[in-house]
């Protein structure tokens, strides 16, 4: 498999300490992607080595989070990691762009928590992301919501030069999930280097935007580099 890196995190799985496994490879080229170093590749790694990383951290973690890249790009490897994690009684989370609803359906019963990126309004994917996958993302959300034992988070990275407050409202009105997270855009290490000059939205601005869409969800959070993940 293609492996990016691994970290221990207290914010990637709400209420849990998790081992985050970044899998390499993604078919998208989102302009604001901050993991561009693993978009096309990753370190060639056998699954047994990934299992050993999980084993080494078992005493310190409650969950395993598989992120990317796009984890579903490597479906068979992703499934094996999920099965192994569940065998150790660890909770599991998958971060996905929602590009592969059919693949998501094949592993959703192994996932306790799924975070689906809703990058832009569904009808603006081709214009702003360069891939007409809005309906795929919508289907992925529907599949996740049908899984009774899976907690569903939708999340949007607010990039001021690409999205407007009205876009955030449009997204919020068009999705159904257990939780919505508005993430702070970071202008370092982005795929589209022209975004390096875009000002990072401040936490007050993000909280204001999140407050305006809170009526659509049970739980709304804001994630910033300054304050981590906060309830609104």
The domain that contains 10 carries what CATH number? 3.20.20.70
| Residue 80 CB-half CA count within 13 A | 11
Distance between CA atoms of 59 and 61, rounded to whole angstroms?
A: 6
Q: What is the pLDDT of residue 195?
A: 82
For residue 230, the SS3 value is strand
By C-alpha distance, which of 24, 101, 88 is closest to 52?
88
Is 80 exposed, middle or buried, given 0-12, 13-18 or 19+ CB atoms closer than 10 A? middle
Q: What is the pLDDT of residue 197?
A: 83
What pTM does this model have? 0.94
Segments forming the whole domain that contains residue 93: 2-231
Q: Is the dihedral of CA 140, 145, 146, 147 positive or negative?
A: positive
pLDDT digits (tens, 9 = 90+) for 172-200: 999 999 999 999 998 787 787 888 888 89
Q: How many domains is the chain partitioned into structurally?
A: 1
Q: What is the pLDDT of residue 228?
A: 85
pLDDT digits (tens, 9 = 90+) for 102-139: 999 999 999 999 999 999 999 999 999 999 999 999 99
Distances (CA, A) of 61 to 68, 93, 176, 232: 19, 13, 30, 27
pLDDT band at 144 (very low <50, low <70, confident <90, very high): very high
Cα separation of the two ends of the chain? 38
pLDDT digits (tens, 9 = 90+) for 16-67: 999 999 999 999 998 888 887 888 888 999 999 999 999 999 999 999 999 9
By C-alpha distance, which of 38, 39, 26, 28 is closest to 130?
28
Q: Is 220 in contact with 180 (CB distance < 8 Å)?
A: yes
Q: Which two tokens stand for residue 124?
A: 């603006």
């Amino acid at each position: 498999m293609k492996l990016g890196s691994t970290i221990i995190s207290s914010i990637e799985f709400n209420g849990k300490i998790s081992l985050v496994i970044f899998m390499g490879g993604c078919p998208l080229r989102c302009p604001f992607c901050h993991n561009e170093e693993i978009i096309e590749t990753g370190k060639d790694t056998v699954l047994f080595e990934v299992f050993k990383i999980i084993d080494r951290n078992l005493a310190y973690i409650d969950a395993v989070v598989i992120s990317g890249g796009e984890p579903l790009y490597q479906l068979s490897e992703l499934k094996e990691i999920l099965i192994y994690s569940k065998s150790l009684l660890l909770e599991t989370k998958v971060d996905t762009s929602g590009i592969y609803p059919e693949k998501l359906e094949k592993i959703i019963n192994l996932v306790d928590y799924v975070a689906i990126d809703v990058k832009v309004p569904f009808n603006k994917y081709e214009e702003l992301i360069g891939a007409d996958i809005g309906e795929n993302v919508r289907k992925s959300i529907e599949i996740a919501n049908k899984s009774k034992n899976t907690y569903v988070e939708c999340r949007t990275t607010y990039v001021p030069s690409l999205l407007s407050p009205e876009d955030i409202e449009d997204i919020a009105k068009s999705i159904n999930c257990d939780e919505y997270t508005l993430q702070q855009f970071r202008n370092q290490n982005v795929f589209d280097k022209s975004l390096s000059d875009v000002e990072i939205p401040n936490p007050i601005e993000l909280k204001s935007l999140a407050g305006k869409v809170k009526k659509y969800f049970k739980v709304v959070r804001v994630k910033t580099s300054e304050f981590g993940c906060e309830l609104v």
